[in-house]
Amino acid sequence: MIKSSKQIHVLWIVGLALLLVSEASRAAEEGAVMTPERVAQLKSVGSTAMSQDGRFIAYTLSVPRIPGKDEDGTPWTELHVWDLEANLSRPFITGKSNVSSVVWTPDGKGISFLAKRNDDKVTSLYVIPFKGGEASRVLGLKTAISAYSWNPDGSRVAAIAVEPERENRKKLQEKGFKPEVYEEDLRVPKVYIAEIDGEKEPAALNLSGAAFQLAWSPVDDRLLVSLAPTPLVDDRYMSQRVHVVDANSGSVLAKFENPGKLDAIKWSRDGVNIALLSGIDINDPAAGTILVAPASGGDLSSPLENNPGHVAEVVWGPSGTLHLVNGLGVWTSYETVSADGSGRNQLVEPGGPILSSMSLSKDAQKAAFLASSPKHPAELFVFEVGSKAPRRLTNSNPWLANIRLAKQEPVQYKARDGLELEGILCPPLDEQPGQRYPLILSVHGGPEAHRSNGWLTRYSEPGQTAAARGMAVFVPNYRGSTGRGVEFSKLSQGDPAGKEFDDLVDAVDHFIEIGLADREKIGVTGGSYGGYATGWCSTYYSDRFAAGVMFVGISNKVSKVGTTDIPNEEYLVHARKRPWDNWQFFLERSPVYHAEKGQTPLLILHGEDDPRVNVGQSRELYRHLKIHGKAPVRLVLYPGEEHGNRLAAARYDYNLRMLRWFEHYLKGPGGEPPSTELDYKLETAEEE
């Protein structure tokens, strides 16, 4: 009997669901390796909040939806608490939940978080009693709360939410009048002050600009608030400035002109000083420098002059000591330093798990971290002063212990101009000495980012899935990457697709020279700026690459400026010139300009609603390559996705297409591209 297409689809969903659900048990079989199905079910810890007494750690757990089984969507986020004395974890909120911004209430009796629960129309603030009981909503506004901070006694809370839609506009929209005035129909994020268990309606402070971050003073009614001129992403990136504000009147008590990008804003425990993570100037690509100042006003200064890395986290400890996670090349360290720069101490040296998301006990004798390694995604770790290293607590993916993983190691190499560079190599799983293999360059975006020697296998990054298929993967921290100080991160500025992408080819030559890579079987992939690199390597450097997979990437540096939501950020920390300063330069640094050279089979993937790199960038390169017709090119668009895929099905589809493209052109027959249709069961049935 011939089944209908609908019946076949239903059978596929049922079959795929059964395959994915039973992954954990199958992983115990001898010889199990990393597959896209296993990538799709990876859990990871997302944030930490240590109790003041240092006994408990609240943390979130990201639980992906299983493609074909669950309703499609973003991962669920659960709330759990680890008891260090009992050495066990207690689930607090699990299942179909989306918990974020987890902190302990000031009295330590509850855990507060943001979520959209039950009949909520927007994200609200909840508190769950620590000793048991249901979570209750303590603050709901007319629009979603994006950030909040408690006052010292827990009687009030400050929250950020955008202005409500005007009532007359809502009525017009219901009648079909829905025009959007581009970059002018903006609803501004405001700071609201609310009384807990009070009768007063939450009131918005009359502050000038759009609020993005806030922190209530630990000792009185002052707020730290970051404000930008408008809610536009470009202003959020480049124009946030820090203010000390009276929580009662909204009066600005002090303002700090942080010189560049802004990340964290933190009060010292006595409320006397503040600390920021900022760029050192307006051209600094990353907010990775600690700046401190008196909260009453004054000059900002850095306690870590000439830091060889980039600070990822900072927290005030007792006695005015700063605790920080420092990104140092492919490693991280945990350090302390006084606000005046004295007494710098490295508590956890580089070389271990990759640390992030730090929280401290009141006495700072214990610190909770997220940490990943080549063997697992982010898990909960704890460090106790006097111990040698952080201790792992959670094991969110126990089945990973039975998966055969390729070794992973840092590699140093030299660029053609002599610059020392580094990255992470994941060789083929069953590498044989003396044999050459296909090599995939996995290029990070930014370029103000870097990859550390942690977990490097995701839906858009081949890592262990490619290694299991007999391909090597190298993740280069090319010039312009963070993790090696501000000077290094600026080396690529004003030279897009210049020496920064020459570094990629130099990495290939290094692996050819040492006998690992097959010169005729080199692939390249990456998203955003890594997608730009992929487009460049597949056109300008096409003779060096046998396959490319380009994700949300730049192809035309001229039209990109006119269609992105961050034109000023691109100008200030990347291009350092405007297109009209040199139209020809921008054109010649565009993959479309070199499309005639394109002989590299290229798979292009893009979210249709991408505001950062407009989908037209991918359409342009696709059309130019298609017209020249010198190599296969395919364009896959994801409706509803933006700058990176968020939904489970789109991520799974992406992973399958990426791996199949590389296998086809680096290991398989090559020639005409594989079918546009995917067998979503893929290799699972055969491999298991």
Name the DSSP class of 646. Answer: -
Does residue 363 carry a pLDDT above 80?
A: yes
Does residue 241 carry a pLDDT above 70?
A: yes
Token duo for residue 230: 């408008």
Residue 125 is predicted with a pLDDT of 98
Per-residue pLDDT of 388-411, as tens digits, reads: 899 999 999 999 999 999 999 999
**Average pLDDT over every residue of 640-644:** 97
What is the rounded average pLDDT for all residues in the chain?
93
Nearest to 544 by CA among 576, 578, 504, 515: 504
CA 604/CA 535 separation, integer angstroms: 9
**Cβ neighbours of 588 (radius 10 Å):** 13
User: Is 73 inside any structural domain?
Assistant: no
At 336, is the pLDDT very low, low, confident or very high (cuts 50, 70, 90)?
A: very high
At 261, is the pLDDT very low, low, confident or very high (cuts 50, 70, 90)?
A: very high
User: Considering only 152-156, 175-179, 367-371, 406-410, which range has the smallest mean pLDDT?
Assistant: 175-179
Nearest to 530 by CA among 364, 656, 644: 644
Is the Cβ–Cβ distance between 451 and 475 less than 8 Å? yes
Residue 667 is predicted with a pLDDT of 97
Is the Cβ–Cβ distance between 549 and 605 less than 8 Å? yes
Q: Do 364 and 465 lie in a common domain? A: no
| Cβ-Cβ contacts under 8 Å for 442 (sequence gap 6 or more) | 456, 461, 462, 463, 473, 474, 475, 525, 526, 530
At 685, is the pLDDT very low, low, confident or very high (cuts 50, 70, 90)?
A: very low
Q: Which of 343, 365, 398 is the last residue of a domain?
A: 398
Q: Do 378 and 457 lie in a common domain? A: no
Residue 688 is predicted with a pLDDT of 37
Does residue 492 carry a pLDDT above 50?
A: yes
At 224, is the pLDDT very low, low, confident or very high (cuts 50, 70, 90)?
A: very high
| Cβ-Cβ contacts under 8 Å for 475 (sequence gap 6 or more) | 423, 424, 425, 426, 441, 442, 443, 444, 451, 456, 461
Strands (E), 257-328: 262-267, 273-278, 289-294, 310-316, 321-328
Residue 10 is predicted with a pLDDT of 39
User: Is 519 inside any structural domain?
Assistant: yes
User: Is 206 inside any structural domain?
Assistant: no
User: Is 137 inside any structural domain?
Assistant: no
- Containing 282, the helix (H) or strand (E) segment is none
Is the Cβ–Cβ distance between 646 and 62 less than 8 Å? no
User: Is 581 inside any structural domain?
Assistant: yes
Comparing 686 with 148, the larger pLDDT belongs to 148
Token duo for residue 487: 């000077």
β-sheet bridge partners, residue 246: 222
Buried b (16+ CB within 10 A) or exposed e, 262-301: bbbbbbbbeeebbbbbbbbeebbbbbbbbbbbebeeeebe
Looking at the chain, the whole-number percentage of residues with pLDDT higher than 90 is 90
Residue 68 is predicted with a pLDDT of 87
User: Is 267 inside any structural domain?
Assistant: no
With vertex at residue 635, the alpha carbon angle to CA 633 and CA 639, rounded to the nearest 5 degrees, is 175
At 355, is the pLDDT very low, low, confident or very high (cuts 50, 70, 90)?
A: very high
**Average pLDDT over every residue of 107-112:** 97
Collapse the DSSP code of 376 into the 3-class scheme (helix H, G, I; strand E, B; otherwise coil) and give the result. Answer: strand
Residue 24 is predicted with a pLDDT of 45
CA 655/CA 319 separation, integer angstroms: 49
Q: Which of 398, 417, 437 is the last residue of a domain?
A: 398
Per-residue pLDDT of 271-327, as tens digits, reads: 999 999 999 999 999 999 999 999 999 999 999 988 999 999 999 999 899 999 999
Q: How many domains does the chain have?
A: 2
Residue 102 is predicted with a pLDDT of 98
Q: Do 518 and 575 lie in a common domain? A: yes
How distant, in Å, are the alpha carbons of 125, 185, 188, 210, 242 from that of 205? 19, 21, 12, 11, 16
Does residue 50 carry a pLDDT above 60?
A: yes
**Average pLDDT over every residue of 504-511:** 98
Per-residue pLDDT of 571-607, as tens digits, reads: 999 999 999 999 999 999 999 999 999 999 999 999 9
Residue 185 is predicted with a pLDDT of 87
Residue 555 is predicted with a pLDDT of 98
Q: Do 521 and 629 lie in a common domain? A: yes
CA 21/CA 512 separation, integer angstroms: 41
Q: Which of 366, 398, 430 is the last residue of a domain?
A: 398
Strands (E), 428-471: 437-443
Residue type, 105: T
- The CA-to-CA distance between both ends of the chain, in Å, stands at 29
Q: Do 579 and 491 lie in a common domain? A: yes
Q: Do 385 and 426 lie in a common domain? A: no
Q: Do 443 and 332 lie in a common domain? A: no
User: Is 283 inside any structural domain?
Assistant: no
Residue 174 is predicted with a pLDDT of 86
Does residue 687 carry a pLDDT above 70?
A: no
CA 442/CA 455 separation, integer angstroms: 14
Residue 9 is predicted with a pLDDT of 41
User: Is 152 inside any structural domain?
Assistant: no
Residue 178, classified by CB atoms within 10 Å of its CB into exposed (0-12), middle (13-18) or buried (19+), is exposed
Is the Cβ–Cβ distance between 249 and 221 less than 8 Å? no
Q: Do 555 and 608 lie in a common domain? A: yes
Does residue 15 carry a pLDDT above 90?
A: no
**Average pLDDT over every residue of 187-196:** 97
In angstroms, how far is CA 84 from the centroid of its own chain? 29
Name the DSSP class of 412. Answer: E
Q: Do 517 and 628 lie in a common domain? A: yes
Per-residue pLDDT of 533-577, as tens digits, reads: 999 999 999 999 999 999 999 999 999 999 999 999 999 999 999
Q: Do 365 and 418 lie in a common domain? A: no
Is the Cβ–Cβ distance between 383 and 366 less than 8 Å? yes
At 682, is the pLDDT very low, low, confident or very high (cuts 50, 70, 90)?
A: very low
Residue type, 93: I
| Residues spanned by the domain of 562 | 405-687
Comparing 225 with 1, the larger pLDDT belongs to 225
At 16, is the pLDDT very low, low, confident or very high (cuts 50, 70, 90)?
A: very low
Residue 201 is predicted with a pLDDT of 92
Residue 28 is predicted with a pLDDT of 42
Residue 85 is predicted with a pLDDT of 96
Residue 31 is predicted with a pLDDT of 76
Q: Do 340 and 480 lie in a common domain? A: no
Residues in the chain: 688
- Containing 385, the helix (H) or strand (E) segment is none
CA 313/CA 360 separation, integer angstroms: 12
Name the DSSP class of 75. Answer: P
Q: Do 532 and 591 lie in a common domain? A: yes
